[in-house]
Structure 1
Amino acid sequence: MTRGGLLAGAVAVLALAGGGVAAFALTGEAGTPSESASAAPTATAEITRSDLVDSKTVDGTLGYAGRRVLPNQATGTVTRVRAEGTLVRRGGWLYSVDGRPVSLMYGSIPMYRALSSGSDGKDVEQLERNLEALGYETGTVDEYFSWVTARAVREWQDDRNLPETGSVDASQIIIASGAVRIADVAVEKGDRAGQSVVTTTSTKRVVHIDLAASDQQLARLGAKVTLETPSGGTAKGTITAIGTVAEPPAQEGGDSTIDVEVTAEGKLGRLDQAPVTVDLQSERRENVLSVPVEALLALREGGYGVQVVGTGIVAVETGLFASGQVEITGEGLTEGMKVEVPAT
């Protein structure tokens, strides 16, 4: 298309603000700007080459994954509790009832029965693996509770000031998949032990986001994000879960939301339920030419163009819109060229 034809077809300069599109000026006869267009003040901006990223910063809440109210089977008076935030590993005590510690062991099978000489099953093997990891000799680790297993249990009980019965049950041991963090203590020393004494979490740091449903394109499983705390600390994260059901707005006129979970990588402190900001990226274009969005001209015959200083209007194909810039391709366009934009 000739320069004159493009000038005749240019109908407006677009200014994107708050998602709206406004006409800046109209042209007059072919090849000649109208009086209003000629009078409109203009400035210039460079065509740049860089990576273009569509992103948005949203609010999130930093916490820990795997929150669980631990069931309690010990009866009596609570005599010792851990401080909130304490990390408990295999063999460590979670709390004590009547002076007897309730200890943590690792596995996937809960203590649903008492284990003693003659017991047989996967839960026996799980117990033996824990005792062996804690330094007690159980013989061959298998599914049978032998006299050797009973001896190891008595040694373990002696070290923890428990009655040396050689058998164990849920009043002595609670099973978790790994180390836990004390998130909340439901009782104080001197209280009767109820259905639960402590709530725990895993040690995995996660960020929960109530993402507006209209922004759900920003959330992709496996996508990397950047996290920032109010103190200025930063870390990377990965989106590991996205809700499939939109929650209704919290207040009238608000947006529906979807739950998004980010697994944090790196150090973000030990605070629980702390506010963070999350930089989400939905799309990236690498090494592309771009101009400010307001440099675009809508052409009468369709599509867009840009007014290149010293050349005239050049038709362009647009790509990604991000951070006030738009990706463009067009004949003869190179990095560093100047294009006209409305003067501010």
Structure 2
Amino acid sequence: MATLLAVLALTAGTGGWLLTDRDSAPAAEHRATRPTVTVEQGALRQSIQLTGTLGYGSPRTVTGTGDGIVTWLPSAGVTVARGRQLYRVDDAPVVLFYGDLPLYRELAEPAPPEKPADDAPPPPPAQPQHGNDVDLVARNLAELGFYDGATEDATYSGSLVSAVRAWQSAQDEEPTGVLGPGNVLVSTGAVRVDSLTAQVGDPAATAVLSVTTTARVLTLDLAETDTTDVVPGRKVRVTLGDGTVVRTKVQHVGKPTPSDDGRPATVPVLVRPTRVGSLAGAESGPVTAVLVTAARHDVRYVPVTALLALAGGGYALERPDGTLVPVEIGMVADGEVEVDGIEAGASVVVAQ
């Protein structure tokens, strides 16, 4: 019988082999007691084990403006939608509007021109304000049911100012028709209060609170050295804290974040469930995940401990009767190795 060596371990990724002698001429009675396995046929997958968090994404700090005093704050964890107050300053609400830019100036109806002196020509009338901020106010008041005029190229006058006054009255506020950065916080959608920074009685022009989106967010921590095979659309199987398995796909790969303790940098990977509602009712907290980096389908495979490295080169499997079957090897994953040259279902010897 050919001289051979038994493979004890195969390290995926390095291709390293740890070999030991296997008896090349076992006694017949010894053969009958040696453990065997069946050559399987199916899929092999190389994967990375990850940890992560189910939460609401990165919080955003809300900083107030003006000279007022904070007089009311919400509780952490509450959700605030369009038209609802986020906090109060001088007992007046700071209300949430939806949009892509903040209010950056005070909006007010044009003041009437002053009466000219005797025999002087009248001054030209003041022009109403217009711009993206005016359109934002018009769109939000239209969605709240206070305005039915133009929401593009709108002017801050006439029906729009009347709508602002009506909305202010509905808020139990003085209907001045004036609106500024201290009255409205703009966000792309509803927000969830993450934490409070200020206290009642603090100046308004300070960091008041932090908010997040209301959508659940799954973020995984990936070692920077493992990012090569991670691209948007790749499938990831996530296990939540209660054991529920959620199938997701990579949505976004972030930038490396250096570690404070000298460990390798990690990269945040945002994944999204493939089925709507998969995260409904799930508690925030740590999660684990399996990211498949490579796969081979419909292949034959055996445990790496079944492989024999022949002294003359190459590899073989041993049948229970001692016959050696030369094989070609392929992918290695989770202690299994792809083999070609032997039929599926065959029994082969494994190292004890």
Aligned residue number for residue 342 of structure 1: 351
Kindly report structure 1 stretches of 4+ aligned residues shifted beyond 6 Å: 17-20, 38-41
Letter in 1 for 2:88: S
Q: Does 1:185 align with 2:179?
A: no
Aligned residue number for residue 13 of structure 1: 7
Deviation at 1:48? 0.9
Deviation at 1:132? 0.5
Scaled by the length of structure 1, the TM-score of the pair is: 0.84
Q: Does 1:267 align with 2:279?
A: yes
Q: Does 1:170 align with 2:166?
A: no
Give the fraction of aligned pairs with identical amino acids, expressed as a percent: 32
SS state of the match for residue 134, structure 2? helix
Measure the CA separation in 1 of the matches of 2:83 and 2:270.
30
Q: Does 1:87 align with 2:79?
A: yes
Aligned residue number for residue 265 of structure 2: 257
Deviations 1:40-77 (A, max 9, x none): 97310011122222223222122222421012125423
Structure exhibiting the larger radius of gyration computed from Cα positions: 2
Measure the CA separation in 1 of the matches of 2:107 and 2:283.
39
Aligned residue number for residue 78 of structure 1: 70
Report if aligned partners of 1:208, 1:259 keep a CA contact under 8 Å in 2. Answer: no
Aligned residue number for residue 121 of structure 2: none
Provide the aligned length of Structure 1 versus Structure 2: 325
Deviation at 1:294? 1.0
Deviation at 1:293? 1.2
Letter in 2 for 1:11: L
Which moves more between the two structures, 276-285 or 69-78? 69-78
Aligned residue number for residue 30 of structure 1: none
Report if aligned partners of 1:84, 1:185 keep a CA contact under 8 Å in 2. Answer: yes
Q: Does 1:222 align with 2:222?
A: no
Deviations 1:192-233 (A, max 9, x none): 324221101112333333333444456333222122233323
Q: How does 1:237-252 map to 2 (within 5 A)?
A: 237-245=248-256, 247=258, 250-251=261-262
Aligned residue number for residue 19 of structure 2: 23
Aligned residue number for residue 169 of structure 2: 158
Aligned residue number for residue 107 of structure 1: 99
Letter in 1 for 2:141: L
Aligned residue number for residue 209 of structure 1: 220
SS state of the match for residue 342, structure 1? coil
Deviation at 1:159? 0.9
Measure the CA separation in 1 of the matches of 2:63 and 2:144.
23
Measure the CA separation in 2 of the matches of 1:201 and 1:71.
14
Deviation at 1:335? 2.1
Letter in 2 for 1:134: L
Aligned residue number for residue 141 of structure 2: 131
Deviations 1:250-289 (A, max 9, x none): 24xxx413212223432164655x2111222112222221
SS state of the match for residue 148, structure 1? helix
Aligned residue number for residue 132 of structure 2: 122
Which moves more between the two structures, 159-168 or 53-62? 53-62
Measure the CA separation in 2 of the matches of 1:171 and 1:310.
86
Residue ranges of structure 1 left out of the alignment (5+ in a row): 28-32
Deviation at 1:112? 0.9
Report if aligned partners of 1:48, 1:290 keep a CA contact under 8 Å in 2. Answer: yes
Report if aligned partners of 2:216, 2:279 keep a CA contact under 8 Å in 1. Answer: no
Scaled by the length of structure 2, the TM-score of the pair is: 0.82
Q: How does 1:226-237 map to 2 (within 5 A)?
A: 226-237=237-248
Aligned residue number for residue 68 of structure 1: 60
Measure the CA separation in 2 of the matches of 1:85 and 1:210.
25
SS state of the match for residue 124, structure 1? helix
Deviation at 1:234? 3.2
* RMSD, aligned CA: 2.8
Distance verdict in 2 for CA 1:128–1:233, change over 3 Å: same
Deviations 1:167-201 (A, max 9, x none): 21111111111111111111233333242211011
Letter in 2 for 1:162: E
Aligned residue number for residue 339 of structure 2: 328
Q: Does 1:44 align with 2:36?
A: yes
Report if aligned partners of 2:198, 2:206 keep a CA contact under 8 Å in 1. Answer: no
Distance verdict in 2 for CA 1:308–1:270, change over 3 Å: closer
SS state of the match for residue 63, structure 2? coil
Deviations 1:120-171 (A, max 9, x none): 1122112111111111124122222231110111111111122211121111
Distance verdict in 2 for CA 1:311–1:145, change over 3 Å: farther
Aligned residue number for residue 151 of structure 2: 141
Aligned residue number for residue 51 of structure 2: 59
Distance verdict in 2 for CA 1:140–1:214, change over 3 Å: closer
SS state of the match for residue 279, structure 2? coil
Deviation at 1:342? 0.8
